[in-house]
Structure 1
Amino acid sequence: MKNEEKAAEDKNKKPVSSKKQRRFERKLASGIPSATSDAFEKINYLHQAAALLSYQVPECPEFGRYYMYNVKQICQKMCLKVEPAVKHQSCKFCYTYFKPTENTSLKIREHGKRKFCEIKCLTCGKVKRYPLENISKKM
């Protein structure tokens, strides 16, 4: 008898969640989008626009750079982290959107036991190094 009552009580109880989680659930239930979801939507749009323009208008890479610069500015204003896949597709220094073999050179190097992927931006000449196992996990 007691087990049945406990089972009925457990079904009626909601799982305990954090204060932030409850606030987030209330915002979703009210239908009002949060500022961070708007920011992520804008970041996604700008990243896609930079990719599209860099491929369709190759003679004018400034458009793609401008959009990638805006992505960085939005993330800094809203205190958001950019996804690693987005970070790996643009130059940190000149904001150029990477296109394989056109404005980047890719090399795989070994340093001791670890392998690294080196991506060199041919626009500004800077090199980004990523551990090879991290790239395969994230992409």
Structure 2
Amino acid sequence: MAPGTTIPRRSCADAGGVGILGAGPVDGRVWRARAARMAGTVKDREAFQRLNFLYQAAHCVLAQDPENQALARFYCHTERTIAKRLVLRRDPSVKRTLCRGCSSLLIPGLTCTQRQRRCKGQRWTVQTCLTCQRSQRFLNDPRHVLWGDRPEAQLGNQADPKPPQPLPNTAHPIPAQLPKKKVQPQSSSHP
């Protein structure tokens, strides 16, 4: 880039499909594939669409004007309260981009600082929110796979559970050696 030229601001259309399923820009093919997978059995489709819109709106606000963090924080706080009220599970990559203290959208270099630390032989990524100074630590292990990304976490890959087998009734066993008592019927007439 030549000296003296300015970098154009990104518009919301340039921000790509930043979705509730992932934190980064989403390719059109990937988005359609995800939408096709979710088309069948999503319980609260409208609620997830609302969460997705609020998350994208927060990204767009910060992309257009980085000084307007209050509006982005409002969108993220609204998204968080809706998800809590309806008891919806959000993707871990989305939860990692939101501050748990002030609901600010965490973008490294803009709204948070991101550092790599070592503690007891493990590598950690530490994000510190610049608004409320709250920090989050994430394990930085390339071999670590989130549970939601594992094959056994997917509904289509789960094996059908076997029906439970009835257990033998061993609570009160009747021993074979005890003699049976003879019960005499009572007569209906009393002398």
Same fold (TM over 0.5): yes
**Does structure 1 residue 80 correspond to structure 2 residue 104?**
no
Q: State the shift of 1:102 in Å.
A: 1.8
**Does structure 1 residue 132 correspond to structure 2 residue 134?**
no
Aligned to 1:70: 78
Q: State the shift of 1:54 in Å.
A: 1.3
Q: 1:119 aligns to what SS in structure 2?
A: strand
5+ residue gaps, structure 2: 1-39, 150-191
Q: State the shift of 1:60 in Å.
A: 1.7
CA change 1:90–1:37 in 2 (3 A) is same
Hey, which of these two has a bigger chunk of strand by percent? 1
Determine the C-alpha separation between the residues in 2 that align with 1:133 and 1:37: 33
Aligned to 1:119: 127
Report which of the two structures shows the higher radius of gyration computed on alpha carbons: 2
Identity %: 24
CA change 1:136–1:61 in 2 (3 A) is farther
Q: 2:44 aligns to what SS in structure 1?
A: helix
Determine the C-alpha separation between the residues in 2 that align with 1:34 and 1:95: 26
Deviating beyond 3 angstroms after TM superposition, the runs of 4 or more aligned structure 1 residues are 134-139
CA RMSD of aligned residues (A): 2.4
Q: State the shift of 1:133 in Å.
A: 2.5
Determine the C-alpha separation between the residues in 2 that align with 1:85 and 1:130: 11
CA change 1:134–1:96 in 2 (3 A) is farther
Q: 1:58 aligns to what SS in structure 2?
A: coil
Aligned to 2:10: none
CA change 1:91–1:112 in 2 (3 A) is same
The one-character-per-residue Cα deviations of 1:119-138 (angstroms, maximum 9, x if unpaired) are: 00111111011111279756
Number of residue pairs aligned between Structure 1 and Structure 2: 108
Q: State the shift of 1:99 in Å.
A: 2.1
Q: Map residues 11-90 of structure 1 onto 2, 5 A cutoff.
A: 36-90=44-98
Contact 2:66–2:110 (8 Å) recurs in 1? no
Determine the C-alpha separation between the residues in 2 that align with 1:135 and 1:62: 37
CA change 1:120–1:49 in 2 (3 A) is same
Aligned to 1:5: none
